[in-house]
Amino acid sequence: MAFESKSRQIAAHLRKAILRGKWRPGDRLPSERDLLANLGVSRTPLNDALNVLVTEGLIERKQGSGTYVCNRQRTPLIAILGNIDTIVVPYGYYYRTLIQAIRQQASAGGYHAVLSIGHGDTTEAFAESIHLLDESIARQVMGVISVVAMGPLEAQFLQRHIPCVSIVSIVPRGQHCVVWNYERMARLGIQRLRTAGFNRFAVFYRTHDGGRSQQVLDQAVETWLRGSGLEPEQAPRVAVPLDVTMRRGAEAFKQLWQSPNRPRAIFFLDDGLCEETLPGILELGVRVPEDLAIVTHSNAGRCFNFPVPLTMVEYDPAEGARVAWTMLQQLMGGKPPPEPVVEIGPVIREGRSL
């Protein structure tokens, strides 16, 4: 292992011990001899690591007395990682709600949560935009919770000994993550429609920009529907591209409603797409539930601008934030969580749209 990397590891270990209260402000650190023996390192990288902590203002060295924890310390930082493309748009309320819930968890734990919003079409561009990997910033960060899939960026955090937890949808991505179980959501919504007497209904879902993520989503939708015993003619799929005008859903519904074999019910696998489609339903004067029944994915607290309360299969962002924070605390404490992947399922919230 490189010499510089060894020094950085020692500094990270001591920094975390101090910030977690192993040594309180004003306490004297163990002697150099004891640190060398306890850490199993040589004198030079230990001294370099201690110099880093002096520069950061965590410790001070007193000639002839020893090394002490400073009385004034910075509040330890937790970074919340997000993507501007999914947060600032009108249907980004889920991410904004989730970020707020994570901040509340971090604050209650005695940490200062900083929001790091990135952008860019590649991992390299995204990493450069957030500056979290800059050495002067990275050494202050105790952990990262990401509300987007980090991909190769996760390895760069781990190389700097910064534990990470991601909150993602559909499939696990990353070493430690919280996953919204969309298969359970799909099956629960299908079951609710069938219980209401609908054995044929359209399934609206969002498409993205192609590539691997789109293939995964298309395959997942197909698996969910076939796993529920539905053939394509029983549940025609309507894939609607993501569009900032938020008109594609309404346009797709109008085209479907004018077809000779239009369905009597719709299941929305994305609440943003549902909201985008509802104006088209109102514009055509379609009565819900007399002419059309609706079940939609949603998140707790979601309100739709629609005259009829919708039946929803909903998730609670606060629960996802709580689970992710618990996992991160365990990682920061050097104890990997018992389950590296935790799946969270939804519940039905009844409306009057069936």
CATH architecture for segment(s) 3-69: Orthogonal Bundle (1.10)
The secondary element (H helix, E strand) that includes residue 53 is helix 43-56
> For the ranges 45-59, 146-160, 192-206, 290-304, which has the lowest average pLDDT?
45-59
Beta-bridge partners for 179: 168, 343
Residue of 307, 315, 319 whose CA lies nearest to 345 = 315
pLDDT of residue 4: 44
Superfamily holding 182-315: Response regulator (3.40.50.2300)
Q: What is the dihedral of CA 236, 354, 187, 172, to 10 degrees?
A: 90
The secondary element (H helix, E strand) that includes residue 238 is strand 237-241
Mean pLDDT to the nearest integer, 128-157: 82
The rounded mean pLDDT for the chain is: 86
Q: Which fold has domain 77-180+318-347?
A: Rossmann fold (3.40.50)
pLDDT digits (tens, 9 = 90+) for 282-335: 999 999 999 999 999 998 888 898 999 999 999 999 999 999 999 998 888 778
pLDDT of residue 352: 96
Q: Do domains 3-69 and 77-180+318-347 have the same CATH topology?
A: no
Q: Could you tell me the end-to-end alpha-carbon distance of the chain, in angstroms, rounded to an integer?
A: 62
Parse the chain into domains and list their residue ranges.
3-69, 77-180+318-347, 182-315
pLDDT digits (tens, 9 = 90+) for 202-249: 999 988 665 566 677 788 888 888 877 777 778 888 988 877 677 899
User: Whole-prediction pTM value?
Assistant: 0.77
**Residue 316 token pair:** 């609670």
